[in-house]
Structure 1
Amino acid sequence: MRGRPGLLFFSGLPGNLQMTFVPVDFLLKEAMKGNYAVGAFNCNNMEIVQAIVRAAEEENAPVIMQASQGAIKYAGIGFITAMAREAAANAKVPVALHLDHGTSFDQVMQCLRNGFSGVMIDGSKHPLEENIALTRQVIAAARPIGVSVEAELGKIGGTEDDITVSEREAMFTDPAEAKYFVEQTGVDSLAVAIGTAHGQYKGEPKLDFERLKKIVSMVDIPIVLHGSSGVPGEAVQEAIALGVRKVNIDTNIREAFVAACRKVLDTDSREIDPRKVLGPAREAAVEVIREKIRIFGSSGKA
């Protein structure tokens, strides 16, 4: 991947919102060719945005920054977009901006208007046909402006912002349904449920690799692994070898970030300079992200 091919320029946006991001679909197609996965890291504040790009640059890797509903609610889509735009404009590696777990058409449209280069519509809580209909609606809006669409089939356990799925309700993705879903929607990538969960794990997760094999054999699009924080590196690498091309990480970044903040404040409880608290946290996030990029096999792929 030389230079920054496949860049998107949303000329139809207002002047102050025009921006350039690499399409998520381009990054994942390159990953399919190279048999590696691209890391998708959630950004919640400026320091984490900076950490994501710096880690990617140090590893010479393509990277996807993700904004979840919680991040957008916390920072505001204007701030998230502005930070990501600044980071991407000055980055030495390809950077994409992606909506993570969008749950409504209106939210997707908001992200499209703000120049995201990939969106996820999570209709997994709906019956299959409703999920298909919602995904088609999003694709009809996103594809004409070159924005790729990720969907989800099956339910991933745990909590993602305000979306909660109990262990009892968590359902693995059915391979035959995955084939039907992709045929009916033409979606660009698919998040599947094979045993991962959002948030912190109570024990070591066991991934259903046979199910993953079946899904990959029946669909010819990039597969996405959500809830990958806490999954052993060897298991993630096996999933990538079987066809996963996008791996989402959030919790591990939060853990490292907050632990570094606590360490500073435990050392000096009278510290009042946010830079001295958040600076070490940013460094801790960089190291976590670099490690994940190496696990994913995307180092040196920019």
Structure 2
Amino acid sequence: MFVDTKHMLLDAQAGHYAVGAFNVENLEFVMAVVAAAQEKNSPVILQTTPGSVKYASLDYFVAMVRTAAEAASVPVALHLDHGDGFDRCVQAIRAGYTSVMIDGSHVSFEDNIALTASVTRIAQAINLPVEAELGKVGGKEDDGPMVAGENPYTDPYEAEEFVARTHCTSLAVGVGTAHGVYHGTPHIEQGVLKAIRSRLEIPLVLHGTSGVPDDQVAEAIRNGVCKVNYATELRQAYSKGYMDYMASNPANFDPKKPAALGMENIKAVVMAHMDNLGSTNKA
């Protein structure tokens, strides 16, 4: 089933679990993530960054994910992750993405509001969900700018004003996580998250979750997170499987064989996260 994220996240919020949003890079990622969702009977969000879209195209990803979703018995959504401007979001909407994120977190508060509102005005006309970001998720997302040396936390009072003025349907918040590979023990500021939740009714989103301990993620879900993003872990899992196969079979020239092991690794990672997020058997 090819669906949008609005009811998926509202159901998660009501049921006190979270839906996993997994970044997909190619056909193998798409097949592995959807296979995991099928086995776990879990709703799932597949998402692409601008970097992945530049590598292929919006149309390629829509065609792949729509094909996988229509053959699946579980809800599957396609989301634009870290949309890097108004034009990119509109292009994704026209291509057939079922939700978009506009990332204005690298501009001023007022400019972020203006940018986000410009996207929600377009999306509201067709009832398409829009995720926004307020605060700083550290590290480096795809080919975007590195975030360092800034206050990473979302201000709960600013968040309330931001949502009221932009009408976004979900909000990615800065609570201590970072994109990419962690070089220390990650720590989610649960108190900040609880303060944000107390002022907002819309679903909250956790970015930069690859490598965050499961118990911290589970606590974040109890404190109001309804969507949890994973990207780096899937890339690592696929690459390890592919390279392990080639190391053992250096004469191989059939790319399907190492790819199959990479897909097995992705599927295992996704299934484990679905159990921890509480989305297993929630399709």
**TM tier relative to shorter chain:** over 0.9
- Three-state SS of the structure 2 residue aligned to 1:205 is coil
**Residues 56-109 of structure 1: CA deviation (Å, up to 9, x unaligned):** 010000000101101101111121111011011111100011000002111011
**Residues 89-140 of structure 1: CA deviation (Å, up to 9, x unaligned):** 1111000110000021110110010111110000011111111111111011
Q: Does 1:180 align with 2:182?
A: no
- Three-state SS of the structure 1 residue aligned to 2:237 is helix
Which structure 1 residue ranges, 5 or more long, are not aligned? 5-20
TM-score, scaled to structure 1: 0.92
2:36 equivalent among 55, 59, 67? 55
1:38 equivalent among 19, 26, 36? 19
- Three-state SS of the structure 1 residue aligned to 2:30 is helix
CA distance in 1, matches of 2:145, 2:252: 36
The 8 Å contact of residues 37 and 44 in structure 2, kept in 1 or not, is answered as: yes
Which structure 2 residue ranges, 5 or more long, are not aligned? none
- Three-state SS of the structure 1 residue aligned to 2:80 is strand
The 8 Å contact of residues 206 and 229 in structure 2, kept in 1 or not, is answered as: yes
Q: Over aligned residues, Cα RMSD in angstroms? A: 0.9
- Three-state SS of the structure 2 residue aligned to 1:99 is strand
- Three-state SS of the structure 1 residue aligned to 2:125 is helix
**Residues 210-259 of structure 1: CA deviation (Å, up to 9, x unaligned):** 00000000111100000000000000000000000000001111111001
Paired position in structure 1 for 2:254: 273
**Residues 21-45 of structure 1: CA deviation (Å, up to 9, x unaligned):** 3111110000011000000001110
Indicate the larger mover: 231-240 or 266-275. 266-275
Q: Does 1:97 align with 2:97?
A: no
The 8 Å contact of residues 137 and 147 in structure 2, kept in 1 or not, is answered as: no
Paired position in structure 1 for 2:98: 117
The 8 Å contact of residues 56 and 63 in structure 1, kept in 2 or not, is answered as: yes
Deviation at 1:164, TM superposition (A): 2.4
The 8 Å contact of residues 155 and 165 in structure 1, kept in 2 or not, is answered as: no
- Three-state SS of the structure 1 residue aligned to 2:42 is coil
Report how many residues are paired.
283
Q: Read off the aligned partner of 1:201 and give its amino acid letter.
A: Y
2:189 equivalent among 175, 191, 208? 208
CA distance in 2, matches of 1:225, 1:219: 15
Moved over 2 A (4+): 164-167
Q: Does 1:81 align with 2:62?
A: yes
Q: Does 1:225 align with 2:206?
A: yes
Indicate the percent of aligned positions where both proteins have the same amino acid.
Answer: 47
- Three-state SS of the structure 1 residue aligned to 2:107 is coil
